Structure 1
Amino acid sequence: MLDSKTNKRNCFLLYLIILVVLLVFRVAAQLMQYFFNLPFLPPFQFWDSGTLPYQILVAAQLAIIVILSKIVYKIGADNIRPNIKTGYIFITLGAVYFTIMLFRLAAGLTLLSDVKWFSYPIPPIFHMILASFLILFGYFHLIKSGGK
């Protein structure tokens, strides 16, 4: 029978895996649109705010996915030393990041729909998924280190 600590770790692991899979889907879908322009997906420009050249963006996205996957692997292997300070840092950064992207999404759907960086909802939604990963990873540190 699994103990409570293992159940909590597995729960965190499941949620983090779901977030990574969503990010992988986002990167793969945009990449497919770049090469094939599939009719069942939103057009390429809806996935991209144009802030970075696409080749740099996709390389950065792949690097982020690798880093997040390593974190998930380490949690699954119970190979992370939890730290309260690290937890608070990740939660704070994730919450600020999430709030900014939530504002970006809301502004793009209302007041700033004519400004390209704000106008497409897909990028901020996936930034919010990444921010959620940071928050959850921070919370993992707090819970596992005995913080409240």
Structure 2
Amino acid sequence: MKYLKFVFFVVIITFFTSCIKKPKEYIPTNKLEKLKKNDSLMNSIIDLRIHFDKMYKDFDSSKEFQKFISVATIDDLIYLTDCDIPLVRCFAFKGLLVKEYPKIKEIVLKHSNDVEIIKRQYYDIEITTNVFDYMLNELHPMAKTKFKLSRKEYDNYLLCKKK
């Protein structure tokens, strides 16, 4: 009898936990191939991807990244934040941050369920993180950017991630 109650209890718990609504995963909508018409932009993206297979600590001061943001327009960078390649999404986001795009926080919020993994390199340590965490950390309250979040905003974005 105890065994039957236990099995019934497990079935009920399994049913209720399976009914909990899971957050939708972010699905990129843009393909990199659509930018083939813009040779200089494609070449700068290729240079970035050749030199940076992961996010390095000071990649944004590299000549490849500087070339990328000088060639890319704001519209190109916004398009690339929805690219199917997670590393390119991060490069584009950093480009928007460097170009001081005023709606940068909306892009972070749009990516709150972007869980694709990228690798970051800090000196000899390699860290894996997801795209949303990268974007959020770029706007950390201690970041040296015009668009850094307040501590309250930062905590609210973290709550968005958990939902």
TM-score range, shorter chain: under 0.3
Please give the TM-score of this superposition, normalised by the length of structure 1.
0.27
Higher relative helix content: 1
Please give the TM-score of this superposition, normalised by the length of structure 2.
0.26
Structure label with greater radius of gyration: 2
Query: Which structure would you say has the larger RCO, counting Cα contacts within 8 Å and 6 or more residues apart?
Result: 1
Higher relative strand content: 2
